[in-house]
Structure 1
Amino acid sequence: MNDHIVLDEYQLTIRSLSDRLVEAQAPIRVLDAVKWDENIRQDFFKHKGKQPPAVDRAYYEGRPLAFDPEAKKQEFQNIERDITRRLGQFNPVGQIMRRMCKEYRMVIRMLQARGTSDFGLISQELYGAASDAFHAGDPTLADLGLMLSDYLNNIAARGDLEDEPKSLTAKEAVAMLQSRLSAVFGDDTIRVLESDGIVADAAAGADYIKVRADALFNTRDVRALEVHEGLVHVGTTLNGLNQPICTFLSKGPPSSTVTQEGLAILMEVIAFASYPTRLRKLTNRTRAIHMAEEGADFMEVYRFYREQGYGLEESYGSASRVFRGSTPSGLPFTKDLSYLKGFILIYNYIQLAVRKGKLEQIPLLFCGKTTLEDMRTLRQLVDEGLVIPPIYLPPQFRDLNALSAWMCFSNFLNHLSLDRIEADYANIL
């Protein structure tokens, strides 16, 4: 932490408001509040997967939030009011912090609505819906999911791009990951540890990565975790924690989830750490959310995963990701759209930054838990000395030569008609 920096009165005002925001959001744990307990899973399999999980409004009422929602909303309201009083209506830092206050109030409203139809509607406001277009006349996220599925099926049909077997234990994966991240961040910066309390194969915290104790991995998985969880998620958290004034950059509201997950997927792609099976997982999540938005229930989404060739456990896990916080026949929790949606938005942003010669904007994506719509303001804040540039940057973003060259070509290639080319290449491919 940079607490030894001497701040002037204006900077101290921002810092104190920022700290209040960070403190206020601490007990809000969205994924903890929406997850389904182990006994729900056991009960589902006890009925041989023939009955939907026993989750309704009462289920969530029996799992109260870790804070008083009304008092917490009032706290954010008070912080928002004080931001306006002390910084004015149009102060750029104030505008970011006020938006965060509003967003956290919406998050609390969503969590209060667990098990009701409002839960899914507020989730769409926060994370988006699969039927959202990127801009007028463009394909939607649901279209993208289907299109990618077609490509991935063509690849899978070949049968020679099989995944290497998952023969690494969690212990071995932890050791590999630890040594690779120590090489990037220095020895004591990030801890990698085994955990049996997580749903996903791995999860990133402020300065640690948890790996699920009973999961198996291959070297490709470890590489993806190194890039996704380590270089991006932990990297941006550490950069946020290093902010001497805008401490709110260490915490991510839902709007930053889209940006952060998009960055993580983009990093996997440009570091050649992604692979078809992993991409298929993301496209299936998008397709499953879209199905639920269109009225499919838990059992239909569960069967969709079974038809995609996933085992019983994995199909249950994937389907429950879609309906957590909701009910088995309710609207979906749309957070998992963040990956593909964020990827497209970040990719477009970097492409435009290269086209306009604003390369210095690109690394600022890493200066904390940033949100795409704040990037122009952040540039201003760095120039004013209110935000410090990122300390930890993946190599691909530290030297922008290769990325810029790729984006220059990519800008041009976007103007070519692939359908026309396909017709022309028909006799050579």
Structure 2
Amino acid sequence: MQTQLADFIRNTADGDEADAILRKCVHCGFCTATCPTYQLLGDELDGPRGRIYLMKQMFEGGSVTRSTQLHLDRCLTCRSCETTCPSGVQYGRLVEIGRQHVEQTVPRPWRQQLLRRVLASVLPNGALFVPAMRLGQLVRPFLPRRLRDKVPPRQRLLEWPSSSAQPVAAGATAKPLEARRMLLLAGCVQPAMLPNINIATARVLHALGIETLIEPEAGCCGAIRLHLGYRDEALDDVRRNIDAWWPHVESGVEAIVINASGCGATIKEYGHLLRNDPAYAEKAQRITDLARDVVEVLGPFETELAGLARRRGVHTVAYHPPCTLQHGQQIRGAVEHLLATLGVEVRLPVDSHLCCGSAGTYSITQPSMSYTLRDRKVQNLEALEPQMIVSGNVGCIAHLQSGTSMPVAHWVELVEHLIYG
């Protein structure tokens, strides 16, 4: 694609990146076949190719309207188009640049401004979100359906691992504890919504002789504010996490383990996000290099986990691969392989490559399309007749759970159950 950028963006970091991405696009349209919003709406401007045309137009100085904003808002940023694209177009990065320009150009209606400001202020802030979630769980039976869907029932907490609780495979001896150390991103919404995901992760790592560290000064990965268009605030989140983790990095932690694939996709972009920050560029790249989805950490231990696992009633699951794992991080097949090694039959729905409609705050800002996608996904998952549904991202899990009576959990919670019972 030929481009001629306007003066306002030419020779800037965003302009150079946008130009390089746009020039890779050959208009083939393969991306439309795997775009959830294009499949729902059938509008070229609600597919990747159409949105690319809109962004090209704005970067070349064309008009930017409320309609432009709407089509970009409707994008789930699932990045399924990136997996499909034969030309390697990094659409996810392009749409973030495009959204940033639209936010600066087109004033939003005040209700949208208020909603987005509340989401960007409350969700990443544990001091505000935790009590709000606790209150919501307390009055959950009395909440309207759409609000109740956002408030999962309070979990009965697992115990954080201790040396006396370390499981040992038959004929083996316990591994020395604290021989290996890894950081775990606690996250912002996950500890309040589904805290057992973090505890289960720590317990599984503990079974392998790995000590799990959580740095209390680390918080939101930055994804929420970044996708809502508050880029400067998102980069502040990134810098805060780097500062909080850096002493642990210097002391030699092996990895930063992330069990929410949405957060993992963002943290693996830290090096790119701060590439032009002289004070943080090198550190950010180091964090990116250390970032691992939990399946990347556990995969090499499949033999040990198989020796520890005991089949405890769950033998068939339906798996929803989060978009941020299969398209964002380009990790496919790893979870299925690991669970199969542990004796679990994993069934994938026919639309396993498509988004469930959660997509961070999308289910709040675009509820109609979000719920349509959820209902389709749940129908296809339930058709597999599993004992439970598993996924790898807190948003997907909560969103799917709101649409089915079947148990929905993080796959690492299933692994923990197979080990500890």
Report the TM-score when normalising by structure 1: 0.26
Q: Hey, which of these two has a bigger chunk of helix by percent?
A: 1
